[in-house]
Amino acid sequence: MGRITLDKVSKSFGEVEVIPPLDLTIDDGEFVVFVGPSGCGKSTLLRLIAGLEDVSGGEIRIDKQPATHLPPAKRGLAMVFQSYALYPHMSVKKNIAFPMKMAGIPEAEQERKIADAAAALNLTDYLDRRPGQLSGGQRQRVAIGRAIVREPAAFLFDEPLSNLDAALRVGMRMEISELHKKLATTMIYVTHDQVEAMTMADKIVVLRAGVIEQVGSPLELYREPRNLFVAGFIGSPKMNLVTGAGDLMQGAATIGVRPEHTAASKTEGRWKGVVGVSEHLGSDTFLHVHETGLAETVTVRVGGEFDANHGDTVYLTPEEDKIHRFDGEGLRIA
Amino acid sequence: MATQHSRSAARIMMAPAVILLLGWMLIPLTMTLVFSFKKYLPMRGGDLGWVGFENYVRFVTSSAFWPAVGTTLVIVGGVLVITVVFGVLLAMLLDQPMWGQGIVRLLVIAPFFVMPTVSALVWKNMFMDPVNGLLAHLWKFFGAQPVEWLSDASMTSIIMIVSWQWLPFATLILLTAIQSLDSEQLEAAEMDGAKPLSRFGYIILPHLARAITIVVLIQTIFLLSIFAEIFVTTQGSFGTRTLTYLIFQRVLESQNVGLGSAGGVYAIILANIVAIFLMRIVGKNLDA
Amino acid sequence: MARAVTTQRKTINTIFAWAVGLLIFFPILWTILTSFKTEATAIADPPVFLFFDWTLENYAVVQERSNYMRFLWNSVIIAGGSTILGVIIAVPAAWSMAFVPSKRTKDILLWMLSTKMLPAVGVLYPIYLLFIKLGILDTRVGLVVVMMLINLPIIVWMLYTYFKEIPGEILEAARMDGASLREEIIHVLTPMAVPGIASTILLNFILAWNEAFWTLNLTAAKAAPLTAFIASYSSPEGLFYAKLSAASVMAIAPILVMGWFSQKQLVRGLTFGAVK
């Protein structure tokens, strides 16, 4: 069905190697998220899989068939683009029908599939509209509809939610997750937003400068980040990475404490510091604490009722069994 | 974005345009270059063999050469000054709020769409004719002696006709440029106490500098080769023989192809000097 | 934010601008008026502006006597044929440069422009000679080819700037959806670029229609378009002002209308995208 294997795949643009040789296996039915800061090569990797770019070396196999040199259309994959890439001159219906028209599927079958997709995506009332007359969320659904009707071996999503506003993004996130559960088709999803990665993925692939930093389930990455980069990237707010914390170091060069694994008190605790900013979210409060002697700022999450203001002295205490330790190279110490 | 497949497709699809233009450029250019080193008189013996640089020397030393250069420069320069100065003023005027702005715009740009032979003929006969021309009537109305425009004031006349044709072009481009000026900039300057004249000098004019340069360069290239206006009005007489017209006469009228071709090479070099500057500006604007 | 302007200032602007606009337009207006006069009224002293006996006689005479329709038809074929041919050749080239740019794309574009800047007179004789050798002197085919070639750089350039505005992702989507290159261009790119292609056609039709170097030098009786037809009035016939005017109006009217529609594209097309 939709098992995708990358074997020593690499990509260079001229002299610049953006992706050094890389191995990755994506299992059938898996929801895999490529995540990393902008410029990490995640979109390039997706485009290599799609066939929109040539690989500079290595092999891509889709369902054990070599696909490295197949044109995009022959790979049996569907893609949802960041800008949705809808055809502005065609109605919603024609947009969804386009891949089927190209494949020469009979009209009657096209009609049936369009109706199914439209019903599943709440687009039935909009079939005769042009993309320009739709909201961002609706356009996104049309793009997904266009992908669904092809019954692809895998769906590729290239930052599909980044053009939506925050509220809509949460909704669409869940719709895509639900779609995945329903179709049970392989999905590869590219994002720079670690929240999307954590909430949607079966498997997260963290990329930096074209190199895979870690592959694992969201909780694996959260609990056991393999190195400082993953530690800093996964989790919100970011893990505090501190040095010089005395006996807590236990031989590590850097230790990491997540804000949610640190307690704060006005009277006593391991580390003393001064509150710079306290952000009240209602349920929680984030304290950004300076002058701890550990890092410029240490962030802690406390309950919403904890009362601290700029300039107050607070004492912080990390949960010792939740401390992450990294060596001088930045690698996790087991 | 691109794969090997799309890159090779791109090369194939670009080929017709590139090959055609390459042929269009190289074949005649090579021929001109070859002829320019020959004594070549199609009506009087045809190809009479190689003569080295003789044509180049003869073209430059002929009595017609320097006057033609002078005429060309005066026409190009005169038209440039008139179109740029009035173009800036007109563009600023058209940018002001008014009633019927769209219609005024149409009136102003209309001359650009008139074919050169028509505008030359209309001006020559209906305006500049010393007996029945409208300008003659106007002069008489004020009690003045009508001017024999195309013989006594031939250069002025040609410059007037050509400026009339190109003023719309300059105006339209400068107007487009002015409209891209952020009005908040002007308001900020006004808040800072800048008077209208200094607002023009310090904000509007610098903003227009690039557009003016482009107008100057593009017009220069077209003006260097104006032909129909002279062909229809004076046929190059009364001191209106430009370099282009001189070459035309050498080649087709006196059928001295070698000499004319040498002149053509000069014209090509001249146009290229201007073109280089234009290409620089266009190229900068192009992040392909 | 446009500022509120006093009515008084707006009135002054309006009067002034209209005066200047009418002054610039006046030669065209005068030609139109004269074309409806009799020859006698046309040279009346003092000249008459509006109050004369309007007549269509000149238009009839011009059409009958000078075979106006043939010249018009030549103009249409030459301008239309060269433009359409140019667009057919330019669309694939512009697609390549806009969507599969390489390091050389910019150089190729600039080089194409540089061919446009070649002074025609510099290659007049070679072209003349080639036309004789190929037997296409004074034929419409010959002029269609020459007009196409001199406008091809502008056509490629304009299409390129329009195509650049179409997001590449849409074409990639088509590719993912299984469209071949041909289908991608026909079903996706071309319909999206229709406004741009239309204005390119319009502007280049105008340029080809008004071109007056090659049309004057490469045609005689058979293939001469309106530019040459009008030029033939520079001989004593030009003294018949009313007929000259009628002929002129017929030659410029359609183009004037098209030009007014294309004024926005004119800037883009003639400055090669350097002024937007």
**Chain A partners of C169 at a C-beta cutoff of 8 Å?**
81-83, 85
A246 or A21, which is more confident: A21
**Region of poorest pLDDT, from A133-147, B42-56, C231-245:** C231-245
In this prediction, residue C19 carries a pLDDT of 94
**Chain A partners of C191 at a C-beta cutoff of 8 Å?**
87, 89
- The DSSP secondary structure of A206-257, one letter per residue, reads EEETTEEEEEE-HHHHHHS-SBHHHHHHSSSSPPEEE---GGGSTT-SEEEE
* Residue of chain A with shortest Cα separation from C172: A52
CATH 3.40.50.920, domain C60-270, yes or no: no
CB contact under 8 A, A54 and B1: no
- The verdict on A8 touching C (C-beta cutoff 8 Å) is no
The chains in contact with chain A, meaning 3 or more Cβ pairs closer than 8 Å, are B, C
Report the residue of B1, B8, B14, B108 to disrupt the C interface, i.e. the one with the largest count of C CBs within 10 Å: B14
- The verdict on C44 touching B (C-beta cutoff 8 Å) is no
B196 or C189, which is more confident: C189
Mean pLDDT on A49-64: 91
Answer yes or no: is B164 within a domain.
Answer: yes
- The verdict on A98 touching C (C-beta cutoff 8 Å) is yes
**Chain C partners of B11 at a C-beta cutoff of 8 Å?**
96
Q: What's the CA gap between B147 and B134, in Å, rounded? A: 11
Give me C122's structure tokens: 């510099």
Per-residue pLDDT at C3 exceeds 80: no
Mean pLDDT on C195-215: 87
Burial pattern A80-89, b for ≥16 Cβ within 10 A else e, equals bbbbbbbbeb
CB contact under 8 A, B2 and A51: no
In this prediction, residue B288 carries a pLDDT of 46
Per-residue pLDDT at C189 exceeds 80: yes
* Annotated domain spans of chain C: 7-58, 60-270
Domains defined along chain A, listed by start = 4-232 (3.40.50.300), 238-326 (2.40.50.140)
Sign of torsion over alpha carbons C107, C110, C116, C118: negative
Helix, strand, coil share of chain C (percent; to 5): 75, 0, 25
Answer yes or no: is B43 within a domain.
Answer: no
Per-residue pLDDT at C179 exceeds 80: yes
Q: Distance from A185 to chain C by nearest Cα, in Å?
A: 17
Q: Distance from A41 to chain B by nearest Cα, in Å?
A: 14
Per the DSSP assignment, residues forming a β-bridge with A31 are: A187
In this prediction, residue C203 carries a pLDDT of 84
Q: Distance from B6 to chain A by nearest Cα, in Å?
A: 9
Cβ pairs bridging A and B (under 8 Å): 11
CB contact under 8 A, C96 and B13: yes
Per-residue pLDDT at C165 exceeds 80: yes
In this prediction, residue A59 carries a pLDDT of 93
Give me B11's structure tokens: 């090369």
* Residue of chain C with shortest Cα separation from A143: C173
A328 or B4, which is more confident: A328
Per the DSSP assignment, residues forming a β-bridge with A62 are: A4, A65
CB contact under 8 A, A85 and C172: yes
**Chain B partners of C271 at a C-beta cutoff of 8 Å?**
173, 214, 218
CB contact under 8 A, B261 and C239: no
Give me B108's structure tokens: 């102003």
Under a CB-based contact definition with an 8 Å cutoff, are residues C238 and C113 in contact?
Answer: no
- The edge-to-edge listing of strands for the beta sheet with A16-26 is A16-26, A4-13, A57-62, A65-66
Inter-helix orientation angle C105-116/C140-164, to 10°: 140
Instruction: Quote the domain boundaries for residue B276.
Output: 70-283
- For A102, the closest of C172, C177, C191 (CB atoms) is C177
What part of B 4-63 touches A (C-beta under 8 Å)? 4-5
- For A85, the closest of C173, C180, C183 (CB atoms) is C173
In this prediction, residue C235 carries a pLDDT of 66
Mean pLDDT on A131-138: 90
Number of domains in chain B: 1
CATH number of the domain within which B170 lies: 1.10.3720.10
Cα separation values, C105 from B1, C94, C96, C170, C197, Å: 14, 10, 9, 21, 21
Under a CB-based contact definition with an 8 Å cutoff, are residues C207 and C154 in contact?
Answer: yes
Q: Distance from B12 to chain A by nearest Cα, in Å?
A: 18
Which H or E element spans position A326? strand A324-326
Report the residue of C200, C271, C276 to disrupt the B interface, i.e. the one with the largest count of B CBs within 10 Å: C271
CB contact under 8 A, C230 and B134: no
What part of A 57-76 touches C (C-beta under 8 Å)? 71-73
Chain C: which residues have CB within 8 Å of chain A?
167, 169-170, 172-180, 183, 187-188, 191-192, 194
Cα separation values, A87 from A45, A94, B195, C190, Å: 25, 9, 51, 11
Which H or E element spans position A286? strand A284-290
CA angle B88, B93, B96 (to 5 degrees): 130
Q: For residue B224, give the nearest of B70, B101, B6, B76 by alpha carbon.
A: B76
Mapped to the 3 state alphabet, what secondary structure does B197-213 carry? HHHHHHHHHHHHHHHHH
Answer yes or no: is B1 within a domain.
Answer: no
CB contact under 8 A, A81 and C188: no
pLDDT per position as a tens digit, A116-131? 999 988 899 999 999 9
Report the residue of A13, A83, A102 to disrupt the C interface, i.e. the one with the largest count of C CBs within 10 Å: A102
Q: What's the CA gap between A299 and A285, in Å, rounded? A: 10
Under a CB-based contact definition with an 8 Å cutoff, are residues A296 and A243 in contact?
Answer: no
In this prediction, residue C238 carries a pLDDT of 53
Give me A59's structure tokens: 């092999």
CB contact under 8 A, C172 and A87: no
Answer yes or no: is B134 within a domain.
Answer: yes
Give me A233's structure tokens: 């990237």
pLDDT per position as a tens digit, C22-66? 999 999 999 999 999 888 788 777 777 777 788 888 888 888 877
Burial of B143 (0-12, 13-18, 19+ CB in 10 A): exposed
CB contact under 8 A, C177 and A88: no
Helices (H) and strands (E) in chain C, counts: 15, 0
pLDDT per position as a tens digit, A267-319? 888 889 999 999 988 889 999 999 888 888 999 999 888 888 898 999 999 99
Per-residue pLDDT at C273 exceeds 70: no
Placement of tokens 């030659």 in the chain: C251
In this prediction, residue B163 carries a pLDDT of 95
Mean pLDDT on A22-27: 94
- Phi, psi of C48, rounded to the nearest 5 degrees: -105, 145
Helix, strand, coil share of chain A (percent; to 5): 30, 30, 35
pLDDT over 70 for what percent of chain A?
A: 100
Under a CB-based contact definition with an 8 Å cutoff, are residues C17 and B103 in contact?
Answer: no
Per the DSSP assignment, residues forming a β-bridge with A25 are: A5
Cβ pairs bridging B and C (under 8 Å): 324
What part of A 123-152 touches C (C-beta under 8 Å)? 146, 150
Under a CB-based contact definition with an 8 Å cutoff, are residues B211 and B126 in contact?
Answer: no
Q: What is the pLDDT along chain B (288 residues), one digit of tens a residue?
A: 467 778 888 889 999 999 999 999 899 999 999 999 988 887 777 787 888 888 899 888 888 888 998 899 899 999 999 999 999 999 999 988 888 888 998 899 899 899 888 999 889 888 888 888 888 888 888 888 888 888 888 899 999 999 999 999 899 889 988 888 877 887 888 888 788 888 888 888 888 888 888 888 888 888 888 888 888 888 888 888 988 888 888 888 888 888 889 988 988 888 888 888 878 877 776 654
Inter-helix orientation angle C263-270/C194-210, to 10°: 80
Identity of residue C116: K
Mean pLDDT on C116-144: 88
Mean pLDDT of chain C: 85
The chains in contact with chain C, meaning 3 or more Cβ pairs closer than 8 Å, are A, B
Q: How many CB atoms lie within 10 A of CB C6?
A: 9
Per-residue pLDDT at A254 exceeds 80: yes
* Residue of chain B with shortest Cα separation from C26: B107
Q: Distance from B251 to chain C by nearest Cα, in Å?
A: 7
The separation between the first and the last C-alpha atoms of chain C, rounded to the nearest angstrom, is 20
**Chain C partners of A88 at a C-beta cutoff of 8 Å?**
170, 192
Per-residue pLDDT at C1 exceeds 50: no
pLDDT per position as a tens digit, A170-209? 988 999 999 999 999 999 999 999 999 999 999 999 999 9
